Amino acid sequence: MNQNKSEKSRLVALILCFFLGWLGVHRFYVGKIGTGLLMILTIGGFLGIWPLIDLIMIAAGSFKDKKGLPIIDWSTNGVGATPTPGNISNP
């Protein structure tokens, strides 16, 4: 696994943020428990501005997980990933 990017799925984070962003569920998913709790307490950062900003950042690929690694892969564990010369297996 590449250590320069998160193992979390960008698609999962985007869907969680879209539907449950005001509860901060996407932040719990990426390991940001503290800010997830803060989002619950402030109902999405007062008027839902915070999840909207997060949604844009996730879609743009600039959202980061707890370790500071960017969440850029649309799938997890390589499932559905585009094959590259390094990960194609020949029978």
More confident site: 73 or 86: 73
Spatial separation of the C-alpha atoms in residues 75 and 83, rounded to whole Å:
13
- Do 4 and 73 contact (CB within 8 A), yes or no? no
- CA distances from residue 22 to 27, 30, 47 in whole angstroms, order as listed: 10, 15, 9
SS3 of 27-70: HHHCCCHHHHHHHHHCCCCCCCHHHHHHHHHHHHCCCECCCCCE
Q: What is the pLDDT of residues 72-81, one digit of tens each?
A: 999 876 554 5
**Statement: residue 13 has pLDDT above 80:** yes
Query: What is the rounded average pLDDT of the residues 53-69?
Result: 97
Q: Which of 30, 33, 38 is nearest to 11 (CA)?
A: 30
Q: What is the pLDDT of residue 47?
A: 81
**Statement: residue 46 has pLDDT above 90:** no
